[in-house]
Copies of this chain bind each other. A is one copy, B any other.
Amino acid sequence: MLRRQPMKHKWYGYTGRHIRIDLTNKKIDIEENNPEIMTSYVGARGIGIKYLSDEMDPQADALSEENKFIFATGPLTGFPPAGNRCYVVTKSPLTGGIANSSVGGYFGVELKLAGYDFIIIEGKSEKPVYIWIDNEHVEIRNAEHLWGKGTEETEKMVLAETDSYAHVAEIGPAGENMARVANVITGGVTAARAAGRGGHGAVLGSKLVKAVAVRGTRGIQVSDPKAFKSSYWKFMDYWKNPTPTCVKGLSDHGTISVVAWANDLGILPTRNFQTGVNENASKISGELFEQKYSIKKGAQPGKACFACPAACSRMGRVDDPGFEGASEGPEYESVASMGSVTGMDNLALVMKAIRMCNDIGVDTISTGVTFGCAMELFEKGYLPEKDAGYDLKFGNGEAMLDLIPKIGRREDFGRLLGEGSYRLAEHYGHPELSMTVKKQEFPNYDPRGVKGQALAYATNNRGADHCRAEVNCSEMFECTMLGYWSPEKDVDPLAIEGKAAMTKHYQDYAAWAFDSVGMCYFLLMEALEQDLADYLESVTGLDFGGLDGLMKAGERIFTLDRLFNLKAGLTGKDDTLPDRFLKEPMPEGPIKGQVVELDIMLPEYYKLRSWDEQGVPGSDKLQELGLET
């Protein structure tokens, strides 16, 4: 049991403490947070980049002892509605820049209730370990017996050894073997939630950390209970009165309903993004899932995350040998990447592939898109069949099912697949066929049909990504978030005017709101920014400077991510898209003929950010944000 010092500051919303685990020296410390850092960086993603850039050299190898790994909650984690997010922040072995990923479920809530806002893991263990946190008790435990196990088995074994009421985050074999597309899973396969993007699993694997288990029954306090309750009902109200196409769809059908939707808009990435129209979309659709594979046919939800009225997740099952039992999802991004990008047209195979990815612990987006890339390389004759070991044409789901476990074991062609599509395509001399930004694979909205999102893809600090600025919410989902779209006022997804400002606004808002407060952003889609600011201040009792101060905090977080990337060696040249989106017009469908006019949007965006033409923030801006060095 660790001695916790009395705290200097009285904390609300936050617990006020964090754990530092030095694996090299087997040293565990409990430290009090600095209130000034919390108001400047809010929590979760913000706190992660602040500590990471203060404490490590961005040029260090992501898989070396010098990298650090941070699990961080936000001040609203643990509170309803939907305060269930935990962030993982580290230097990415995939992009070489900042990696931050968010995960729902219950892990972050448990950490918070154990009395900690975040955990900093540093150094490297000599042998496989897992970390067991039971309120005051923090322990580094041997994990040799868990090494090599899938996520589901790992989680169950850890629960059996610790406390069946604990929650666990773990890596699979892919993380152990440092595949650059490896992720961190909580909930095993059955209730899988992934901190998916950027290769976090490989970093934990490099440190020989198999899992972190937490049991928390300590308290958290609200500063102003009356204001908190009024905020609670306000957010429930946002949930109750959604615009039909956005929030309501999440609860009615889950995210998989987006398959049909994206296909109708002509932006469903198909066969490595060669087209946005998939003639087989109905074979991997939400409707088919509902009919054939959902374990609650005609009814939602599956397993909800903590305190979530949306319950967007589903559970499905495919009753084939080796796949007995239900498993989480599938989610839209997983289905589109593993199904449409690879040209698969068999939802049962797609579901099996996703389940295998969750068990070996790899990001379904990066893995699916890497398969898509390998298939295009194969079909174009750049990838020899003897290397792949399979007739790797688009749609060969059987080959995928064979190859996924090999990614986990880093075996045969699985080794190259685990490196991600950029390294794969480069290996075969055709990096232009890698659908990536900053070496990270695209999510599933073809940028040619959502121009603001395209700019966000190009400029998001963690690479091609839809969560750090969901401009597409306004462009395709009729989401009232941030006020760009309203029932009276449409947003033209193909227009480029105003998209630079929109992208900047979304990025800064996401940085403090979606990514740092700890509430799931699906619940924030219809909410007014001011209401979230009020909620945050009523819970924490801290002065963030109101909405203006928080938007400034968002810009600060985004910019600090950028500075980390620049110091790590990335440059303005990395703010780009594959030629496929810049030069190859969409061949068919509703957005036939479209390319992304990035050359027009990017300079405008740099200017709005007060960055120079090389994409380097100006010193005035850094001073304004308190980031001058």
Interface on A for B, CB 8 Å cutoff?
78-80, 113, 135, 155-156, 159-160, 163-165, 188, 190-191, 217-225, 228-229, 232, 236-237, 240, 252, 290, 294-301, 304, 307, 309, 311, 315, 317, 325-326, 539
Contacts and interface: CB of A to CB of B under 8 A. Distances in A.
Contacts of A163: 156
B219 A296 contact: yes
A148 to B, nearest CB: 20
A307 B298 CA distance: 16
A223 B296 CA distance: 11
Contact of A296 (B191, B222, B309): B222
Given A156-B164, A156-B165, A301-B307, 11 more contacts: A113-B295, A155-B164, A156-B163, A159-B164, A217-B295, A217-B317, A218-B295, A218-B326, A220-B295, A220-B299, A224-B298
A325 B240 contact: no
The 7 residue pairs across chains A and B that have the minimum distance between CB atoms: A222-B298, A225-B298, A217-B326, A221-B297, A159-B164, A219-B295, A240-B240
Contacts of A228: 298-299
A198 to B, nearest CB: 28
Q: Is the interface of A mostly helix, strand, loop or mixed?
A: loop
Given A190-B165, A219-B317, A80 B299 contact: yes
Given A79-B296, A309-B236, A229 B217 contact: no
Nearest to A165: B190
A78 B164 contact: no
Identify the interface centre among A159, A294, A315: most chain B CB within 10 Å of its CB: A159
A376 B434 CA distance: 82
Contacts of A304: 307
Contacts of A326: 113, 217-218
A104 to B, nearest CB: 15
A219 B311 contact: no
Contacts of A317: 217-219
15 contacts: A113-B295, A160-B160, A217-B295, A217-B325, A219-B294, A219-B296, A219-B297, A219-B317, A222-B298, A224-B298, A225-B299, A228-B298, A228-B299, A236-B240, A309-B309
Contacts of A219: 294-297, 317
A179 to B, nearest CB: 27
A163 B236 CA distance: 34
